[in-house]
Amino acid sequence: MAMIALKPPMGWNSWNTFSGNVSDTLIRETADYIVENGFLDAGYDIVSIDDCWMLRDRDENGNLVPDPEKFPNGIKALADYVHSKGLKFGIYEDAGTMTCAGFPGSFGHERQDAKQFAEWGIDLLKYDFCYSTPGCSDVNLYRRMGQALRETGRDIIFSGCWGNDGVWKWMRSCGAHMWRLTGDIFDSWESIEKVGFGALGLEAYAGPSGWNDPDMMVVGLNGQGYVGHIGGGCTTNEYQAHFALWCMLSAPLLMGHDVRKTTPEVKEILQNKELIAIDQDDAGIPAYKIPGYSDVLAKPLADGSMALGLFNREPNWKYMALSWDYCGWEVTDRVKLYDVIAHKDLGEFKCGATLRVEGHSCLIFKATRI
């Protein structure tokens, strides 16, 4: 197997909007839209079905059976279609006896399922942790599937979910390429804050081929769809800050809205190539929080520059300060700031900068020492 997921995976997953309402048509239309509307060019190259794609029972040979009403052409034909568009194809299973929505889990069938996934042409497996088997440790449950996937010989991104005792500490050793840090995200600023800022401090665990995953994004849900109804929606500034935070964290960028209904504002957020370049930077170093400052993040970049983020988590605007010494520079260095959201050069700064940041918003700079 090749070394894969050298950059945080990017794509789309069905769960946040569609939960159990997945179908062949939805996946095909999503794939078409992604290719025809600039998302593939921006880097989003995975289309994934989440839970609820199968029947409640395995067949007499113990195989998983795709729901024939939702997927009348089967999974292989759908994967072939997605591949024909230049995209990768992802699917979902669970380490326990059932998936979170109550469909058959992979426990005891790991090799059979992994072989099936490889035969179908799956490129990413999201592997959940509901109904985990008592008596079998979390680590071992993920190890069983990690091993089974490797033995197929196919390059499959293994996307782990939760587990006990800090998955970030051991998930990479199970063969996973990303791991969920928290419970589910919802479409609200509170939820974005909780899962996004919760990732700070764990940056040392992530890097090429193994990424911290604060969950799939809710950008553009606008209170619609499954987790949209639960969270109620966000403002455009909040979605912008959410996307920027995920990029600073080197997080997988998995869209969760109905892409077929993408608005121009949401497209602009999700296709910001300069922010995406920060997420996908070759150094693969997630941002760290500057101690003593409120929500100032720094992400070292491969070209010797730095991405700096000022996140205002309060509802009203405030001034926020940057100082150079915390990111390995001298306080008195001259630094050029380029605003990657406004796409604007702000010129040269010495001994730091103080900037106004709107409520529930952020400023992100590419900072280069002169």
Q: Which residues bind ligand GLA (CB under 6 A)?
A: 15, 50-51, 99-101, 128, 161, 184
Q: Cα(205)–Cα(168) distance, rounded to whole angstroms? A: 6
CB of 220 to ligand GLA, least distance (A): 17
- b/e sequence 216-231, b meaning 16+ C-beta within 10 Å: bbbbbbbebbbbbebb
Q: Amino acid identity of 79?
A: A
CB of 103 to ligand GLA, least distance (A): 9
Tell me whether residue 184 or residue 358 sits nearer to ligand GLA (CB atom): 184
Tell me whether residue 105 or residue 309 sits nearer to ligand GLA (CB atom): 105
Q: Amino acid identity of 130?
A: C
Tell me whether residue 246 or residue 311 sits nearer to ligand GLA (CB atom): 246
Q: Which residues pair with 327 in a beta bridge?
A: none
CB of 128 to ligand GLA, least distance (A): 5
Q: Cα(187)–Cα(56) distance, rounded to whole angstroms? A: 29
Q: Cα(79)–Cα(152) distance, rounded to whole angstroms? A: 17
Specify whether the CB–CB gap between 65 and 54 falls below 8 A: yes
Specify whether the CB–CB gap between 152 and 117 falls below 8 A: yes
Specify whether the CB–CB gap between 287 and 309 falls below 8 A: yes
Specify whether the CB–CB gap between 241 and 361 falls below 8 A: yes
Tell me whether residue 12 or residue 15 sits nearer to ligand GLA (CB atom): 15
Q: Cα(238)–Cα(11) distance, rounded to whole angstroms? A: 21
Q: What are phi and psi of 157, to 5 degrees?
A: -70, 125
Q: Amino acid identity of 339?
A: D
CB of 22 to ligand GLA, least distance (A): 11
The structure tokens listed for 320 are 């926020």
CB of 337 to ligand GLA, least distance (A): 37
Q: What are phi and psi of 32, to 5 degrees?
A: -60, -45
CB of 15 to ligand GLA, least distance (A): 5
CB of 316 to ligand GLA, least distance (A): 33
Catalytic residues, by residue number, are 128, 184
What is the four-CA torsion angle of 360, 14, 223, 279, rounded to 10 degrees? Answer: 10
The terminus-to-terminus CA distance of the chain in angstroms comes to 42
Tell me whether residue 99 or residue 272 sits nearer to ligand GLA (CB atom): 99
Q: Is 238 helix (H, G, I), strand (E, B) or coil?
A: helix
Tell me whether residue 132 or residue 361 sits nearer to ligand GLA (CB atom): 132
Q: Cα(36)–Cα(39) distance, rounded to whole angstroms? A: 8
Tell me whether residue 214 or residue 220 sits nearer to ligand GLA (CB atom): 214
